[in-house]
Amino acid sequence: MIGKTHLHALALGSCLLAAPAFAQSVNLYTTREPALLNPVLESFTKDTGIKVNAVFLKDGLQERIKAEGANSPADVMLLVDVGEINAAVDAGITQPVKSAIVDKVVPVQLRGADDNWVTLTKRARIVVVSKDRVSQDAITYENLADPKWKGKFCIRAGQHPYNNAFLAAYLARNGAEKTETYLKALKANVARKPGGGDRDVARDIQSGLCDIAIINTYYIGLMSQAKNEQKGWYDAIKPLKTTFANGGTHVNVSAAAIAKNAPNKDNAVKLIEYMLGEKAQAQYADGNFEFPVNQAVKDSAAVKLLGVVTPDTTPLADVAKNRKAAADLVDKVGFDN
């Protein structure tokens, strides 16, 4: 989620460091929605005495830090999507996160190469079906290619980042040839041209246009609380336990990295460690129906609604590496045409 630049958001590093009321500070650059992060950041300051100077950016975060160079005031980057956080690594603006708490809480497959980023929360991409017309309770991603779903499958564009990450995960597991065959089979099953949003596929299930679709879990949570027609879309769908064959569930993440030239590196580590603690994990994850990465948090809103999700063991760093190849295959088969 993204939002306007505010909450201590200041343009220059020299201004960011001007925090006379606090002995210590940490500077956060993020593309997340302020309303989602503010409660956690305020709790961190209250519990540690460290002020968070947060810069909320719609886009261009990596470019800004790179342009600021060695004098960048950025300590921590917090981004949504493994591709975005991996792009920060590729841009050379991160450094390893060295922390015993990270090592204990965050599984290796949910960290970047050399621990250059760490997952804070997860969101799963799962299959939903018509509650009235489909009886099964579990499915594999591979089963979406079954001809029995011909004319019944709805999905947003294959080139959308959510589907790109999913298809990159499929590619990392199965190779290019099998992924191309899979894409052709999915295309043969679509009820309409791929497009729209994740909420739209739930709407289309309610209308009878399709019986099965793929969706990010947090949209299910948000629709469950809606006060408009989206509540009806939620009521029409049934989430299925969704995994790869002989694997786990595909997840994408919100993740944090320490800036290469962080002036407050120790406090940067403290902020990341705090956000992995049980209190902050519950607070942060519940704000957007995401799954906490800390397994000690048992009763998050997403878990209560959808049950426990076991992430696939394919390293997310490998998923990020395969995103361009997955996008090329989508174009090759004309998936979005």
Q: What residues contact residue 106 under an 8 Å CB cut-off, 6+ apart?
A: 118, 119, 276, 293
Two tokens, residue 26: 């940490």
Q: Going along the chain, which residue ranges are E strands?
A: 24-30, 50-56, 76-80, 94-95, 118-130, 138-140, 153-154, 212-216, 237-239, 241-243, 251-259, 291-292
Is-contact 78 30, C-beta < 8 A?
yes
Pairing, β 153-154 against β 212-216: parallel
325 — phi, psi (to 5°)? Answer: -65, -40
* 323-332 vs 161-174: helix crossing angle, rounded to 10: 100
- Please calculate the CA angle 53-76-123 and round it to the nearest 5 degrees: 110
CA–CA dist 179, 175 (Å, integer): 6
CA–CA dist 7, 191 (Å, integer): 44
- Please calculate the CA angle 132-290-64 and round it to the nearest 5 degrees: 130
Tell me which residue of 152, 179, 189 sits closest to 322, measured CA to CA. Answer: 179
Is 219 annotated as contributing to ligand binding? yes
Is-contact 335 170, C-beta < 8 A?
no
Tell me which residue of 219, 194, 189 sits closest to 128, measured CA to CA. Answer: 219
Going by the annotation, the residues of the binding site are 218-219
- Which residues are part of a known binding site for Fe cation? 218-219
